[in-house]
Amino acid sequence: MSDQDTLQRFIFSDSNVRGEIVHLNQSYQTVIHQSDYPEPLQRLMGEAMCAVILLTATLKFSGKLSLQLQGDGILTLLLVQSTHEQEIRGTMQWQGECEDKSFNELLQNARLVITIDPDKGTRYQGIVPLDGDRLNQCLETYFMQSEQLPTRIWLAADDSSAAGMLLQKLPEQESQSDGNQWEHITILAETTTHSELLSLSNETFLYRLFHNESVRLFESQPATFKCTCSRERCEETIISLGSREINDIIRDPGHVAITCEFCSASYFFEADQLQKMSDEAAQKESGQKATD
């Protein structure tokens, strides 16, 4: 299928409804094979990754968007981050057996946190308690609370790919009165199945659902796995510990080993490198004192 690892927008020419379809293949595989995640969690990760890509399509500026699920059930943390250019990464933490567990059993007392971090401007955070049976329902609640635009989301994942669709009713212009159109389109979309969403090309998929509507597909954009970790970022983190703590590490154990939880890249710092960072931290600290 030609739509692998893409995000594609479409609009209904006769109404104020827009849509987005995402397919994640290689990027999804890369994320779920970072660790030995149990199968139900792999699927949930696929759905969450698709959700994040669909959410980035609604951003009106450049920046980062993250989705976090936190709970005290089997899945304790799921974190997916993407840029406005659909560069995505994700990680999970879990405990115990997942077999045959439902969404609600995997995520007890959980909440969904969506954070939008514009390159310029203030950070926005929306928190929704998880009360639906599936992730898409929780996201629809999030949209009701934050954007106040009626939004429907479909998400699906199997062991090789993940896919999702978003439909959003845009604010009506005065000349238009398409209240019924939104209802009509979402009723048609309800007839979709997970396997159609996962396996059909976007063109065929949209034709099957909406062949009596006039739908315009835009050019698709790539979605790719990309981790933002680097040696420089690790150094910044170590320096932020402060000279005292770095000196303690130099005494024992004498080195720092960091493994990125998103991409498994590992970074190793020896004592003499740590000494430089300690000096840099000390310099910053004396500078701060001078300005106090």
Binding site for Zn ion (CB under 5 A): 227, 229, 260, 262-263, 265
Whichever of 48 and 110 has its CB closer to Zn ion, that residue is 48
Give me the residue label for tokens 């203030």: 122
Length of the chain (residues): 292
Could you tell me which of 108, 37, 110 has the C-alpha nearest to residue 73? 108
Q: By the 8 A CB rule, do 98 and 74 touch?
A: yes
All residues at 6 or more sequence positions from 236 whose CB lies less than 8 Å from its CB, including other chains: none
Whichever of 28 and 262 has its CB closer to Zn ion, that residue is 262
Could you tell me which of 15, 4, 2, 58 has the C-alpha nearest to residue 175? 15
Rounded to an integer, what distance in angstroms lies between the CA atom of residue 113 and that of residue 123? Answer: 13
Which parts of 74-201 fold into alpha helices (H)?
Answer: 103-106, 135-146, 179-189, 194-199
Whichever of 102 and 264 has its CB closer to Zn ion, that residue is 264
User: What is the smallest separation between the CB atom of 261 and Zn ion, expressed in angstroms?
Assistant: 8
Looking at the DSSP bridge assignments, the partners of residue 64 are 83, 117
Whichever of 178 and 261 has its CB closer to Zn ion, that residue is 261
User: What is the smallest separation between the CB atom of 23 and Zn ion, expressed in angstroms?
Assistant: 23
User: What is the smallest separation between the CB atom of 31 and Zn ion, expressed in angstroms?
Assistant: 11
Sheet containing 124-129, strands listed edge to edge, beginning at the edge strand earlier in sequence? 124-129, 111-118, 63-70, 75-83, 87-94, 224-225
Rounded to an integer, what distance in angstroms lies between the CA atom of residue 150 and that of residue 168? Answer: 6
User: What is the smallest separation between the CB atom of 156 and Zn ion, expressed in angstroms?
Assistant: 27
User: What is the smallest separation between the CB atom of 227 and Zn ion, expressed in angstroms?
Assistant: 3
Name residue 59's amino acid. L
Whichever of 59 and 263 has its CB closer to Zn ion, that residue is 263
Whichever of 209 and 260 has its CB closer to Zn ion, that residue is 260
- Residue 232 φ/ψ region, left for φ over 0, alpha for ψ in the -120 to 50 degree band, beta for the rest: alpha
Whichever of 54 and 238 has its CB closer to Zn ion, that residue is 238
User: What is the smallest separation between the CB atom of 79 and Zn ion, expressed in angstroms?
Assistant: 12
User: What is the smallest separation between the CB atom of 259 and Zn ion, expressed in angstroms?
Assistant: 9
Whichever of 37 and 143 has its CB closer to Zn ion, that residue is 37
Phi, psi angle pair for 169, to nearest 5°: -90, 115
Secondary element (H or E) of residue 18: strand 17-24
User: What is the smallest separation between the CB atom of 278 and Zn ion, expressed in angstroms?
Assistant: 25
Phi, psi angle pair for 95, to nearest 5°: -145, 140
Rounded to an integer, what distance in angstroms lies between the CA atom of residue 84 and that of residue 57? Answer: 7
